[in-house]
Amino acid sequence: MSKSQRIEDSLRESIISRPDMILDDKDLMQALIAANERAMGGNIIDLRGIAMERLESRLDRLEDTHRSVIAAAYENLAGTNQIHRAVLRMLDPVEFEPFLQDLGTEVAQILRVDVIKLVLETAQTDGDTVVKRVGEVLSVSEPGFVEAFVSDGREAPLRQVTLRQLQQGDARIYGDKSEWIRSEACLKLDFGPGRLPGLLVLGSEDPHMFTPQQGTDLLGFFAGVFERTMRRWLS
């Protein structure tokens, strides 16, 4: 018996003892099916083979959908954890000045945004579109500024969270950083009856950080916690 024959016998014995090696190998099974179709000739239609191809195609689509669902679930879980960490950090300070300082540093880093700005409306400003800076994070504006800024001239009803991509940011909000802001999240703040609204703006140089197609549930939750936190400073 030749050496090549011994190799073939060895391979044959391996296949007989472990047929699952063949069955689990997609490429090898396709090669065997193709060889069988060639052996049958061109005048025979293998309906079983056609059905198997359709099932394989459907299985591939299901696997792609499965992977997409898992990826979306992981992304949503990561986003939830990120918002929870930001909320916990935001609740740590017991004084307003450290609260604002953390907002522009630690909270911004947790949320992976480049700029966070807080705008409060007040009747004590002068001018039609004045936004007066009080610090790195806080600015004050005249009544009506929040609605005008978020709506951007549109008449559609305002949502609590508005996501949009930009050519550049508004200098009234971002100052000298406005040129490299490419997307932003605008969180409209309600501080309760008898109080003027506010606005929390998250700005990013990444144009895909905030887009209108994204969900806003997590940012809506963050805005709700922020509103309640601010009420104790405003009381």
pLDDT at 1 over 50: no
Please report how many Cα atoms fall inside a 13 Å half-sphere around the Cα of residue 48, on the Cβ side: 4
The answer to whether position 78 is within a domain reads no
Of the two residues 3 and 82, the one the predictor is more confident about is 82
Residues 212 and 102 in one domain: yes
Residues 151 and 199 in one domain: yes
Cβ–Cβ under 8 Å, residues 23 and 29: yes
How confident is the model over 130-149, as pLDDT tens digits? 566 667 899 999 999 999 99
Of the two residues 130 and 157, the one the predictor is more confident about is 157
pLDDT at 112 over 70: yes
What pLDDT does residue 79 have? Answer: 79
pLDDT at 5 over 60: no
Enclosing domain of residue 34: 3-62
pLDDT at 63 over 90: no
What pLDDT does residue 46 have? Answer: 61
The answer to whether position 106 is within a domain reads yes
What pLDDT does residue 222 have? Answer: 95
The answer to whether position 185 is within a domain reads yes
Overall average pLDDT of the 207-212 stretch: 93
Overall average pLDDT of the 95-118 stretch: 93
Handedness of CA 113, 115, 118, 119 (dihedral sign): negative
Overall average pLDDT of the 46-61 stretch: 72
d(CA 53, CA 60): 11
Residues 126 and 165 in one domain: yes
Query: Beta strand 138-141 with 115-121: parallel, antiparallel or unpaired?
Result: parallel
Give the CATH number, domain containing residue 90: 3.30.450.40
Residues 57 and 159 in one domain: no
Residues 214 and 123 in one domain: yes
Poorest-pLDDT segment among 18-27, 46-55, 91-100, 185-194? 46-55
Cβ–Cβ under 8 Å, residues 181 and 169: yes
What pLDDT does residue 36 have? Answer: 67
Which parts of the chain fold into alpha helices (H)? 3-17, 20-23, 26-40, 47-91, 96-104, 106-111, 145-151, 171-174, 217-234
With bands split at pLDDT 50, 70 and 90, how would you rate the model's confidence at 9? Answer: confident
Task: Measure the CA angle with vertex 132, ends 158 and 162; round to 5°.
Answer: 20
With bands split at pLDDT 50, 70 and 90, how would you rate the model's confidence at 43? Answer: low
With bands split at pLDDT 50, 70 and 90, how would you rate the model's confidence at 6? Answer: low
Return the closest-CA partner of residue 37 out of 53, 22, 26, 25: 53
What pLDDT does residue 3 have? Answer: 46
Residues 122 and 220 in one domain: yes
Mean pLDDT of the chain: 82
The answer to whether position 73 is within a domain reads no
The backbone torsions φ and ψ at residue 31, rounded to the nearest 5 degrees and listed phi first, read -65, -40
Residues 118 and 181 in one domain: yes
Alpha-carbon distances, residue 24 vs 20, 37, 55, 60, 61 (angstroms): 6, 20, 16, 15, 19
What's the number of domains the chain is made of? 2
What tokens were used for 99?
Answer: 């609260």
